[in-house]
Amino acid sequence: MQLNDKKTIQGWAFFDWANSAYYLVISTAIFPIYFSNVSDAEVPLFGGTISNTALYSFSVSAVYILIAFISPLLSGIADFSGRRMYFLKSFTLAGVIGCISLFFFNSPETMWIGTVAFMLGTIGAAGGLVFYDSYLPLIATEDKFDSVSAKGYAYGYVGSVLLLVFCLLLIQKPEWFYISSPTLPSRISFVLVGVWWFSFAQITFKRLPADEPVKSTENLLMKGWKELMGVWEIIKIDKNIKRFLASYFFYIAGVHTVIYLASIFAAKELGFEDFELIVTILLLQLVAIPGAISFARLSKAKGNKFSLLIQLSIWVIICFGAYLTTQKWEFFLIAALVGMVLGGIQSLSRSTYAKLLEGEVKDTTSFFSFMDVLSKVAIVSGTFIFGLVNSLTGSMRYSVLALALFFITGIVILSSVDKYRINTASPAKTIP
């Protein structure tokens, strides 16, 4: 496979275009509201009852805990057996089936179909990303990591926003489409995400390097585990990779917590209506596109470390700003600021890690899986701290303020990473 081939890179970026529709249209904008409206406020569970919002939260947590356990083993197997594309396709298919299955969730009686389908969709979306990310060092040279990674995120934001706008028209103006059922517009939107995801992913599957399966009679599960242990042996002795991942754990916990709970904060603290929340999400996504590209350019001019530290400083400002916000227009400004650094921080984190791992090309899936596990555990940690502070203080404002500590900790640890190593490729290593 020729490196820096434009057609290949474009094909890789189209998976972001395809996959991001799930995160924006279903898990962020439409499904949480739909789930709350269609399901009963109290849901029977194991002889008792819990709120429907708690069930939704627990389903998200369960999915990420499951992925945190299985993804490293699968990625190790993928590296050893040469079946990276096989797993990418498998998770994509699982996610698409989950999206289409949501069509049958139309009443409290079918809530369990909706819950299981949502979990399956999330497994497909989150589980496939580690295999997708691991292709970056295989299709681009180190000097192109930042721009290629940013291109992927930009494709994702553009594609997901386009589909969300159409779905919002479907929901807000169902009479334009001769629809009278109150649940049908949202259910059609879920199916559209599955069709969109599956269709555009075919471009990626066609253009990325094909698998080269390795025949072996060995236990692939054990080989996958040994592969992961080999990853840890390298990481624990490389202080720069270790420090970067430690920093990443703290700041990505803050980032994901903001993503998942910003709408709840806006609704509870500022009285946002459903339509206002969706408009805010759209604003955030639109600003994220130039944000990802701008910070990729800043990284090229000043280096990855400088660009990441600037973004983390802005995240700290966002937390303090949200704590002080009392008006809706102020929250819109905060949302725009979040959008500016949301795409940049994720894109640059991916490309920076790829630079630190340059020379590990053969084993990239396992290394990206290690990073992916940190991200999943960070989501659980960040949301738990947010909820704990909220319970102790009775105010989400203090929870948002507590998130600033995650970003400050990330800044402190990242400052100790060698500037040269984080901006350029590392010496070649192989997994023991």
126 Cβ contact list (under 8 Å, min separation 6): 63, 64, 67, 376
**C-beta atoms surrounding 45 within 10 Å:** 11
Q: What is the pLDDT of residue 406?
A: 94
Higher confidence at residue 267 or residue 242? 242
pLDDT exceeds 90 at position 93: yes
Residues in the chain: 432
Residue 26 in this model has a pLDDT that exceeds 80: yes
On whether the CB atoms of residues 342 and 255 are closer than 8 A, the answer is yes
Amino acid symbol at 44: P
Chosen CATH of 6-207+220-423 out of 3.30.1300.30, 1.20.1250.20, 1.20.140.160, 3.60.150.10: 1.20.1250.20
Question: Distance (Å, rounded) from C-alpha 399 to C-alpha 404?
Answer: 9
Which one is predicted more confidently, 226 or 401?
Answer: 401
User: pLDDT tens for residues 274-324?
Assistant: 677 777 877 777 787 788 778 878 888 888 889 999 999 999 999 999 899
Q: What is the residue-averaged pLDDT of the chain? A: 82
Q: 57 falls in which pLDDT band (50, 70, 90)?
A: low
Q: Show Cβ contacts of residue 410 under 8 Å, excluding neighbours closer than 6 positions.
A: 247, 248, 250, 251, 254, 312
- pLDDT bin (cut points 50, 70, 90) of residue 425 is very low
Strands 48-51 and 42-45: antiparallel
- Closest alpha carbon to 38 in 234, 187, 167: 187
Distances (CA, A) of 265 to 54, 272, 400: 16, 9, 9
Q: Are 99 and 197 in contact (CB under 8 A)?
A: yes
357 versus 81: which is more confidently predicted? Answer: 357
Q: What is the pTM of this model?
A: 0.74
Report yes or no: 367 and 360 within 8 Å, Cβ to Cβ. Answer: yes
Rg value, the chain, Cα: 21
Q: Which residue has the higher pLDDT, 428 or 215?
A: 215
pLDDT tens digits, 312-370:
999 999 999 989 988 888 888 888 888 888 878 887 887 888 888 765 445 566 787 77
Residue-by-residue DSSP string for 341-400? HHHHHHHHHHHHHHHHTTT-GGGHHHHHHHHHHHHHHHHHHHHHHHHHHHHHHS-HHHHH
Write down the domain spans for the chain.
Answer: 6-207+220-423
Q: What is the pLDDT of residue 405?
A: 94
In tens, the pLDDT along 108-147 reads 889 889 989 998 998 899 888 878 887 887 888 877 877 8
Which alpha helices (H) appear in 208-238, and where do they start and end? 220-237
